[in-house]
Chains A and B, each alone.
Chain A
Amino acid sequence: MLFSSFNYLVFLPIVFGLYWVLPDKFRKPLLLLASYFFYMSWLPKYGLLLFGLTIANYFLGLLISKSVDRKKLFLTIAVSINLGCLCFFKYTNFLLDSLWQGLRGFTQVTGVTLAQTTNTPMFDILLPLGISFFAFEFIHYVVDVYKGSPPMRNFFDFALFGAFFPSQIAGPIKRFQDFSKQLIHPPVFSKQDFNDGVVLILQGLFKKVCLGDMLAQLIVDPGYANPAALGTLDAWIVFFAFTFQVFFDFSGYTDIGRGSALLFGYRVPENFNLPFLSANFLEIWRRWHISLSTWLRDYLYIPLGGSHCSAWAQRRNLFLTMALGGLWHGAAWHYVFFGCIQGVILATTRDWQKYTDKHPTLSVMKKSPWWHWSAVVATFWSWTVLLVIFRAPSVTHAFSMYAKGFSSSPAGEITTTFMTSTLPVTLVLYGLYCITCALANRTIEKEQALPAVAGWVANAWKQSVPARAIAYTAMAVVILAFAPGHVQPFVYFQF
């Protein structure tokens, strides 16, 4: 069930209504049932996989906490089960294909015949939705229990942690310590949470459907499908369109998830914090897919040695972390290549930062606004250019896209499509919305008095239920108006 599908628009209000009508003791079981229904509506048999992993991690968590001398063994078993499932479902065919390609290369070079068949043997494996996310949540759980965190003793609470539908399919990757705190005290219905939740859902839908899906259908997919037809301007429109598509798609998903969780009185972590305003790649990874970056830091980078080792070991750790992070995104070499480049850039950025900190002139220049904003523009541009490797189906394909972007040829259809579509209007609309929100937040933070009209509007918004209801409906109509003919799956579902 997609967050942006009609089914979810029916499912969510029903679960929401039942949740607040039922007595406290039935609410958590209802959420658990709803989460399994949500997951199994895609492919029922994979509900068993989620349930099986939940049982295994629950008992192994208890064993790790109780055991004195075999903690490490139980941890190894638990991590192996989670990683084993992830690798089997996600990487088996990739490994077979890579091995087969390697063998073919070997036979071509040496002339030795190793196999009669030319087709790669493949398993018929369908990747379970969200496995990369809930497997990482379970690994975090067992590792933290191993480190001394108290385990979750209530099985149903633990099952809800693993299956909670607002964050089940594409994160954010939750931390069980934060989630279990919320399970102790039953949530109380709050108008504030309800309003914030509805606004987040509508905001997320706008980002996903009106911006992400439109960019994908009109610009990105046709652009990457036929690089030969692109002019220079087209190629750059396609590059930037993908940067925005993946941001709107994933942050839109996260907004809908966070909004849905708020409707039930739960809070899930934020995943994005204005990533395109980052002044370097280290900062981008602190602002983009925050829950994955922190997971990689805590459960991969730090165990590898982190920053408490020699300069070369630090570089190696960063490189390995990002290369594996790249592989996490998908079973293909272009993801690994993307991760490796990120690793090299992060290591170089860190060295550059150390150098500029020590250099007397550069350390002063670094503090100037023009340095900062130049760095922001350069970082955004480089990020966009590197995402071509991420989006293209192969590294070769990515280079044919670059060839179009860095050569001179007249504009093709993509430019016309972009200009005649609703995208310019929706992008302006989203920009105005962001500016309004930023100004409102700044006013609230600085406790400034609002101008008369704005004050009246803010007051009406706070106090008038009809005003809010009509505003929500109007926002929904705007989403319907700018939505494409059919909804696309979320980009991060494949990961």
Chain B
Amino acid sequence: MQTITAPPTNETKNREPRAPRKPLWRSAVEVVICLMLAVFALESLFAIAGVGGQEFMQIDHKLGTKHIPNKQVIWRMEGFSADKLNSFGYRDIEHTVAKPLGVKRVAVMGDSHSEGLQVPLQDTYARRLEESLNDSAHKTADKTNYEVLNFACSGYSTAQEYVQFSQEVVPYKPDVTVILMHWGNTTANIVDPNKRRLAQPRPYFYLDSEGALKEDDSVSDWYYKPGAESEPLAKTIAFLQRHSRIYGVLCQTDLALNINERLYWRLRGAVQRGITMAQGKNHKAEPPGPAYVEQDATEVTEALVVALSKECAKNGSKLVIMLLPDPSGKASEKLSKELTALGAQNSFGLLDLSDAFKTHPASKDLFLRVHLSSQGHKFVADTLQSFLQQNGYLSANSEPLAAQQRQL
């Protein structure tokens, strides 16, 4: 019997012969072997090349985030550095908690500008200040040794610094506490009580109806439930943050895309909302927290600085606020004026760097893109040193004079 077959179509002519289907276990073994090989190869390559070390933050219930102790950090996003965080997680050399005899300590606090990942550790203004204070002490008969401790951490607000001071800085007994601030820090001190779900997990502050400064931890409490760190997922993430460069690369990419690519930012938001809904949560639900009216960021920041200066005084330290120049100028000018007035009343020093930066002969070399360059750090260290010395912050038994509040 003759069978009639359809003429071969273009599609059937070009179709490739199918390989026999493999058993499932064999495919599973292949996947496991290939994954292990790929992970080993990538981790080794990234270790040799020094990439993927940017993931250096861990969750902290009180502060929101903090550095991972002993983490090797390689920074290439802006500038370059390759250093290890110390055993307490600070971008600093090792210091004992107990203050040695004959040592005066300066504690430096702030955000990424003070942390200075964009330059090598020895170029940060904290390290330069220590070096030059000791150099000038050795040139004179002064037998004091100076230690400058850097507690700064990327993204920290004044509110986080206030909490960090009592929690971490006080045990080191600093004689002077310096906080490098800029206008951007002030907005991160408050949260809109009606939009808590959009806020970063970190401590926030507000002024109640009587003007008293109050802490609002509702966002952190909502994000990080008690005991959450012992959950398997949290443990895995903590392990990856400490040990995996691949994880570091992926987190870094996520951050860069979130900042630079609008579409990615939108899609990421949609996925997050989807996950929240899949978990049975209402993505529009607000975290519970104290009720208060919308806050003025400058007012809360000023209250925080006053509270910090009192806390410093209580612990035998003198507070100095350094203000970085603000590109728009107007906002920080107002903040500077108000902080100067407050400083006179509350005995803290204010060093506004705006004019000094503007009049510097090579002012554009003081910054990389956003953060301070090595020259910028050196300039801040020199300016701070002369401020501290001229105003008697480091001389024995001296009281800094309120009248000496000066803007350079």
Interface residues, chain A, with chain B CB atoms under 8 Å away: 5-7, 10, 185-186, 188, 190-192, 417, 420-422, 425-426, 429, 460, 463-464, 466-467, 470-471, 473-474, 477-478, 480-487
Contact = CB atoms under 8 A, between A and B. Distances in A.
Dominant secondary structure at the A interface: helix
Given A6-B257, A6-B263, A470-B31, A188 B14 contact: yes
Nearest to A24: B11
B359 interface: no
B30 A464 contact: yes
Interface in B41-56: 41-42, 45-46, 48-52
B37 to A, nearest CB: 8
Contacts of A463: 19
A8 to B, nearest CB: 10
A485 B368 CA distance: 14
A478 B45 contact: yes
B16 interface: yes
B198 interface: no
A463 B30 CA distance: 11
Interface stretch (B161-169, B248-256, B335-343): B248-256
B27 interface: yes
Dominant secondary structure at the B interface: helix
A477 B249 contact: yes
Contacts of A460: 30
B49 A422 contact: yes
B264 A6 contact: yes
Contact of A425 (B48, B77, B263): B48
Interface in B40-84: 41-42, 45-46, 48-52, 76-78, 80, 82
A471 B34 contact: yes
A487 B257 CA distance: 10
17 contacts: A5-B261, A6-B264, A7-B261, A185-B10, A188-B10, A417-B80, A420-B80, A422-B76, A464-B34, A470-B31, A474-B42, A477-B42, A477-B250, A482-B51, A485-B76, A485-B256, A486-B256
Nearest to B29: A466
Given A422-B49, A422-B50, A474-B41, A467 B261 contact: no
A227 B396 CA distance: 50
B35 interface: yes
Given A188-B15, A422-B49, 19 more contacts: A7-B263, A190-B14, A191-B16, A192-B16, A422-B76, A466-B31, A467-B34, A471-B34, A474-B38, A478-B42, A478-B45, A480-B250, A480-B253, A481-B42, A484-B76, A485-B76, A485-B77, A485-B256, A487-B260
Contacts of A480: 249-250, 252-253
Contact of B78 (A10, A482, A485): A485
B126 interface: no
B263 A466 contact: no
A197 to B, nearest CB: 15
Nearest to B34: A470
A491 to B, nearest CB: 20
A483 B76 CA distance: 10
Contacts of B267: 10
A466 B30 contact: yes
A306 B264 CA distance: 52
A5 B256 CA distance: 12
Nearest to B39: A474
Contact of B38 (A5, A185, A471): A471
Nearest to B50: A422
A429 B48 CA distance: 12
Contacts of A474: 38, 41-42
Interface in B236-268: 245-246, 249-250, 252-253, 256-257, 260-261, 263-264, 267
A400 B251 CA distance: 43
B365 to A, nearest CB: 11
B246 A477 contact: yes
CB-based closest 8 A-B pairs: A425-B49, A6-B261, A188-B14, A470-B34, A481-B249, A474-B38, A466-B31, A480-B253
